[in-house]
Amino acid sequence: MTALYRVVLCDLRSDQVLDVLPAQGLKCDDYIGKTGGAQFTIPVADSTMARRAREAVISARTAVWVERAGEVWWGGIVWTREITPPSRGRPGGMSVQAATFDSYLAHRLLANGWTGTGVDQFDIARQIVDYVQSTDGGDIGIELDWTQTSGVLRDRTYSRYDLPVVRDLLDQLANTENGFEWRIRTYRDADGRRVKGLQLGYPIIRSSRTELVLSSPGPVIDYRLPEDGTMRATHWHSRGASINRNQTAASTPLMSAPVSIAGAIDPGGWPRLDGTSDYTSVERQSTLDGHARADLTRAWTATQVPTVTVRLDGSGISPGLLGSTIRLRIRDAWHPEGLDSRYRLIGLATTPAERGRPETADLLLEPAAAPAALTA
């Protein structure tokens, strides 16, 4: 790994620096809508380095900060490590895999439950995360901005008897109709502190009003435009909690009202494609119907996720641009007339320069799509 990058290992709860160790084969990625990851190997040539690595890298307890040119580029938690002994003259090492800080919420339960009526969905999300950090040993330093609102009010009841996983609750809340996006954003503030903050965006996260133009020929060195129809649907049903008010009758789940894409079959010419989803803790008909409509909209529109590879140096790309607009211009055999389209940056995977390989970034893009017309 070049001197441009460094890996800082800290105590997860206090963020106290434990050590700064050399790393090889570093790769890290961050996304809107899913957990990102990092992997690297700490070379171990002697017992002193072995002791330092063993003491600093503790699975589920050590935080990893990846810095690029002194700026916070990525942050997360070590979840696995593997020690490799020396062999055939090669030094040993410790392989490390980490995940972004939101992964911590997949290891926490809303053990006390939660109930609210007419509460802004941002406040629900913040109160759930605030509960996580108010418990003994649960504060890992996620900062909350209580001033932001979405204007969308929700009624929600989360029973402690369902042992709800906090990460699942946030995703379910965000992915309903008229929902929002969330992530744990990492950066260095004006005082030089490493910050992990809950970032909320309604209806989506927009991090910059500035449009970044990327071209091929130019900084774009490769691209992939896959199209996947396996998850596309024209009709949708969602299944909720089991409802059994009559103890003598069989228990049946709450079902959403059928919903479909208007005009997809006729005159659109699409075959009928059915999709389903399960929300076993949802007991309200209106909430379940909202999930069904949101799930169908995603299944109808999210069939293409372009990936563009760029030379990082001089491209202007950084993790802080997640959520911003990318204008992609390509002229080649596939696009002799020229492709000129706008996308939203929803993922960034970085590979530092190493052994003659240039420093690159893979950009995961979301096409701009018109809202789907639904028919109940």
pLDDT digits (tens, 9 = 90+) for 83-120: 988 876 677 899 999 999 999 999 999 999 999 999 99
Is the same domain home to 184 and 328?
Answer: no
Name every residue whose Cβ is closer than 8 Å to that of residue 183 and which is 6 or more positions away in sequence: 30, 31, 32, 33, 100, 102, 199, 205, 322
Q: How confident is the model at residue 246 (pLDDT cuts 50, 70, 90)?
A: low
CA atoms of 64 and 101, how far apart (whole Å): 10
pLDDT at 356 over 80: no
| Range(s) of the domain holding residue 271 | 235-288
Do the domain assignments include residue 207?
no
Q: Which CATH number do you get for residue 138?
A: 3.55.50
Are 164 and 66 contained in the same domain? no
Whether residue 296 lies inside any domain: the answer is: no
pLDDT of residue 85: 87
Share of the chain above pLDDT 70, in %: 97
CA distance between the termini of the chain: 55
pLDDT at 249: 65
Return all residues near 201 (Cβ < 8 A) that are at least 6 apart.
180, 181, 182, 323
Please give the structure tokens belonging to residue 170: 């946030």
Q: Which residue has the higher pLDDT, 314 or 59?
A: 59
Residue 206 within any structural domain of the chain: no
User: Which letter, b or e, does each residue of 245-275 get, where b requires 16 or more Cβ atoms within 10 Å of its Cβ?
Assistant: eeeeeeeebbebeebbbeebeeeeeeeebeb
**Assigned domain for 90 exists:** yes
Claim to verify: residue 249 and residue 189 sit in the same structural domain: no
* DSSP, res 204: S
Confidence of residue 2 (pLDDT cuts 50, 70, 90): low
Is 21 part of a structural domain of the chain?
Answer: yes
* Residue 164 banded pLDDT, cuts 50, 70, 90: very high
Q: Give residue 184's Cα distance to chain centre.
A: 8
Is the per-residue pLDDT at 280 higher than 70? yes
Q: Residue 91's pLDDT is what?
A: 77
Mean pLDDT across the stretch 174-178? 94
Indicate the average pLDDT of the chain: 93
Per the structure, how many domains does the chain have?
4
The answer to whether residue 342 is domain-embedded is yes
Q: Are residues 37 and 83 in the same domain?
A: yes
Residues 348 and 359 sit within 8 Å (Cβ to Cβ): no
Among 229, 206, 220, CA closest to 305: 229
CB 5 within 8 A of CB 66: yes
Would you state the pLDDT for residue 371?
64
Q: Which range among 192-206, 213-227, 355-369 has the greatest average pLDDT?
A: 192-206
156-160, 224-228, 355-359, 369-373, range with greatest mean pLDDT: 156-160
Tell me, yes or no, whether 299 lies in a domain: no
Look up the CATH number of the domain holding residue 34. Answer: 2.30.300.10
Q: Do 270 and 191 sit in the same domain of this protein?
A: no
State the residue for tokens 């049903």.
237
CA–CA gap between residue 139 and residue 196 (Å, rounded): 12
Confidence at 22, pLDDT banded by 50, 70, 90: very high
SS3 content of the chain, % helix, strand, coil (to 5): 15, 45, 40
Residue, of 223 and 242, whose pLDDT is higher:
223
Shortest CA distance to 346 belongs to which of 204, 171, 149? 204
Instruction: List alpha helices for the chain, DSSP H.
Output: 47-56, 121-134, 166-174, 285-301
Q: What is the pLDDT of residue 118?
A: 97
The per-type count for the chain, helices as H runs and strands as E runs, is 4, 23
**Which of 241, 147, 175 is closest to 34 using CA atoms?**
175
Let me know whether 274 and 334 are in one domain.
Answer: no
H or E segment and range at residue 75: strand 71-84
| pLDDT beyond 80 at 270 | yes
pLDDT for 208: 72
Q: Over range 24-42, report the average pLDDT.
A: 96
Amino acid at 164: P
Determine the average pLDDT of the residues in 188-208.
94
Are 95 and 34 within one domain?
Answer: yes
Q: What's the confidence (pLDDT) of residue 250?
A: 73
140 part of a folded domain: yes
Question: Are 195 and 265 found together in one domain?
Answer: no
How high is the pLDDT of residue 369?
A: 63
Encoded tokens for 275: 């999709």
347 and 254: one domain?
Answer: no
On whether the pTM is more than 0.85, the answer is: yes
Does 182 or 315 have the greater pLDDT score? 182
Count the alpha carbons within 13 Å of 264 in the hemisphere toward its beta carbon: 23
Are 352 and 222 within one domain? yes
* Residues 143 and 194 placed together within one structural domain of the fold: yes
Residues 6+ apart with CB under 8 A from 53: 21, 42, 44, 94
pLDDT band at 73 (very low <50, low <70, confident <90, very high): very high
Residue-level pLDDT at 4 = 87
Note whether 281 and 331 are same-domain residues: no
For residue 245, the model assigns a pLDDT of: 61
Alpha helices per DSSP H over 306-362 = none
Amino acid at 368: A
